[in-house]
Amino acid sequence: MLPTPKKFFVTAGSASGENYLNAFDNALLKAGIGNLNLLKVSSILPPGVQYCPEIDIPPGSLIPTAYSRIISDAPGETISAAVGVGLSQDTFGVIMEYSGKCGKDYAEETIRQMLKNAFDARGMELVDVKIASTEYRVETIGCALAAVPLWY
């Protein structure tokens, strides 16, 4: 069993590749998490976790991560991915992920609304938001990725 994470950060990256998997890998590298083993998690941020934008994580580490990605091979198409973390005053937080065939501004606004809805549904007060997003115009094959890695 993994311990409960104590730190988190938000990141995003987009890139092209020779195929879908390489585009995804290159987007991970652009986001600074390409040398980590991501364990996809859902949307709850543990209580007391600290926002740490500069975390040095050893390559190959198993990292619980909430992320969204989109890959396209339609030249000229704009794709975006965004993640957002909603923080409460004294309890857990909520993570939301979004990706689509849209611009970065739309993705960010969608995340803000999703966080508001999630906090309203839980009867919690939203006191702070952290967002990371990226936008990419496809030339051959491209990937847009946004992530919330959690660390110990």
pLDDT tens for 47-97 read 999 999 999 999 999 999 999 999 999 999 999 999 999 999 989 999 999
Q: Which of 19, 35, 37, 117 is catalytic?
A: 37
Beta strand 62-72 with 50-51 is unpaired
pLDDT digits (tens, 9 = 90+) for 110-135: 999 999 999 999 999 999 999 999 99
Q: Is residue 1 part of a domain?
A: no
pLDDT digits (tens, 9 = 90+) for 5-44: 999 999 999 999 999 999 999 999 999 999 999 999 999 9
Q: Is residue 116 part of a domain?
A: yes
The pLDDT assigned to 15 comes to: 98
The pLDDT assigned to 2 comes to: 79
Q: Which of 68, 97, 99, 133 is catalytic?
A: 97
Evaluate whether 2 touches 61 at the Cβ level (below 8 Å).
no
The pLDDT assigned to 40 comes to: 97
**Residue 104 domain boundaries:** 7-151
Q: Structurally, how many domains does the chain consist of?
A: 1
**From CA 24, how far away is CA 47, in angstroms rounded?**
31
Q: Which of 16, 22, 43, 88 is catalytic?
A: 43
Q: How many C-beta atoms surround the C-beta of residue 58 within 10 A?
A: 7
Active site (annotated) includes residue 61 = no
Q: Return the CATH number at 73.
A: 3.50.20.10
Active site (annotated) includes residue 97 = yes
Token pair of 6 as six digits: 């104590």
